[in-house]
Amino acid sequence: MSMDRRTLSAEAVTAAFNQICAHLDEDAGELDAATRKRLERIAKESMEAHPALAWQTLGMLAAERWDSEALEVAYANALRCERGVQAGINCAVALAACNRFGEAAEVAERAWQAQPSSLLALRGAIDMAWQAGRWARALELMQALSPRSNATDRETEAYRRKAVAILERHAVPLSAVEALHDALYGFLATRRVRALAACEFVDDGPGEETVYVTVQIAREHDEVAQLDEALAEALSDAVEAYPLAAFVIDLAERETA
């Protein structure tokens, strides 16, 4: 009987964890008090049998309410309970949900370093570094992936190297790219707007070479336009020479299927 309860507890806390992640992926506003209380209760009741997952669930709940201190405590406890790759990746995801992409990239890379054979961890570290604007580091990590890469990996790497080559031709330092990402994420975080995706587009037409990064947010068109206008000042403060000749970073409505 005790084993049955343990199994049910694992299913319940996994479902709770997944529900919070889905909510964060949509940036669907605050959870209502009753739902948050129910999810917290599930996590706490599973603490004895499944401490690592329980703490990760509490960490995601902390991310949902933008509570950085509680997030850090929860994931420190989770990583003490379980040193596996997945706990590290989930910690990075929670940090990213609060627009703390630079820290998320560091955590994701540590998860890979702890288990270098894990392609899941390596790809996660690459993607977090790129999303954080740490493009030079992302390309270095892609080199580590190269011997085991698949066609999608190689296509992604080629596209990203094309972007960096354009910036180099136009003397745009990658440190400026990182600073602009940091400024944008900080700008959104102060307004509790989650950055849901950062998508790059490379225009390599003759005389028009430009790298565009569009960060998608879950807001209506008019609010996105207002935020994008206000963002310009934050970007100019971050990089004196902004706007740059061959690099643009801005906001857009989240794409829906």
pLDDT tens-digit profile of 205-228? 999 999 999 999 999 999 999 999
Q: What is the pLDDT of residue 3?
A: 42
Q: What is the pLDDT of residue 257?
A: 60
Q: What is the pLDDT of residue 178?
A: 98
For the chain, give every domain's residue range.
Answer: 2-148, 174-253
pLDDT tens-digit profile of 132-153? 999 999 999 999 999 999 999 9
The reply to whether the predicted model has a pTM over 0.85 is yes
The secondary structure of 117-180 as a DSSP string is T-HHHHHHHHHHHHHTT-HHHHHHHHHHHGGG--HHHHHHHHHHHHHHHHHHHTT--HHHHHHH
- Edge-to-edge strands, sheet with 210-217: 197-203, 210-217, 247-253
CATH 1.25.40.10 applies to domain 2-148: yes
2-148 and 174-253 share one CATH topology? no
CATH 2.60.40 applies to domain 174-253: no
